[in-house]
Structure 1
């Protein structure tokens, strides 16, 4: 698959055709009516965008980019509400995974792989700030990126409200609690939130969750890699549901 689209009109048409775009690079200082139309379409659709020097665009492609290059995801994204409703109709105890600003593509790939192995029904990420799905992501996921439905949302907070209104309890993986994962009951419809590699889950998101839980850390290092921590959380769900 060609993972790149270049040219202002081509990028506009790709957006309007709802292609799974990871990110768009635009040339700094460029103007004109068509370029402004592209900027409007990008803002309207909430697509991640960076303004870069022309030299950056020239490195991205040797073709006539006209000041615009879009990176296309190798994986098609699901519509969030449709995904949730479909899974709720099919399963008694669905399991969703929300990622709050996880930005490393290999961590993302490793998380997707573990999610597929542990029976996660859908992964939800924000449109802005999340790691893109690249060839490296797919490779690290061992192909699981093609098997686990992934949905992008404008704001993770809106996704939390929607899940809670669907009787799905939302659990944050955070050290900012006294409760460990071994005190929670995962034998209900639930969604687990994992936070960014460096900052964890944002405070505004933490304020909305139903439960918070941490992993007991018995050594001197204060945290686990996010993909490892995610695996421990997901397999506690598996352990409880297999009993």
Structure 2
């Protein structure tokens, strides 16, 4: 799979893709676009709350291989996203103790892909991401996940808080991975319906999210480096969950 395979270009083509229900990762737009067709696209982008980025024409040329992009290129997701409410219901009906993973605006596609791969290997029921500000599922994500992105249910929500409310409403406990606590990951009971929240590479879990969770936990760091890569930390949390559940 190549990145170009997931790109479409031209304003009318993008409008048709959106109207047909295609999952759009991001729309790249040239500054200063005008005209009736562009305003139609802009209206759809706002209605669907799609992520956009204003970029130089040189980037659009690269994304479209110098074809007639009309100032607009869209990246189509290679996977279909799941409805969170449906996924929660199906997971509860399965009789197994739920395990969900929420990624609070993780931005690096390689970290995202590595986390998807680990999540699939550790029995996570689904990954939840925010529509805006999150790493896309693109060719690089798929490659890094070793194809696990095609097997792992992934849900998009308007805000991570929305997902927390839904999970807590059905008694799924939430635990945030954060250094802003004295509690260790080894103090948490993962033998219960639970959702793990991992933060972004630069700021961690949003403070407003930390106020909502049931538990906060950190990994012990015995060296001089102050933090772990988020995909490594996520793996440690997930495998502590596996250890407890197998035990």
Task: Note whether the superposition's TM-score is higher than 0.5.
Answer: yes
Q: 1:131: which partner in 2?
A: 135
Q: Find 1:54's aligned residue among 54, 57, 62.
A: 57
Q: 1:175: which partner in 2?
A: 179
SS in 1 for 2:183: coil
Question: Does 2:56 match 1:43?
Answer: no
For the residues of structure 2 that align with 1:186 and 1:52, how far apart are their CA atoms? 44
User: How do 1:156-171 and structure 2 match up within 5 A?
Assistant: 156-171=160-175
TM-score by length of 1: 0.97
Q: 1:4: which partner in 2?
A: 7
Gaps of 5+ in 2: none
Shift of 1:17: 2.0
TM-score by length of 2: 0.95
For the residues of structure 2 that align with 1:105 and 1:56, how far apart are their CA atoms? 19
SS in 1 for 2:112: helix
Q: CA RMSD in A?
A: 1.1
SS in 2 for 1:191: strand
Shift of 1:54: 2.3
Question: Does 2:146 match 1:148?
Answer: no
Gaps of 5+ in 1: none
Shift of 1:7: 1.3
For the residues of structure 2 that align with 1:92 and 1:138, how far apart are their CA atoms? 27
- Which runs of 4 or more aligned residues in structure 1 lie more than 6 Å from their structure 2 counterparts after TM superposition? none
Count the aligned residue pairs.
243
Question: Does 2:199 match 1:195?
Answer: yes
For the residues of structure 1 that align with 2:235 and 2:59, how far apart are their CA atoms? 37
For the residues of structure 1 that align with 2:91 and 2:85, how far apart are their CA atoms? 10
SS in 2 for 1:24: strand
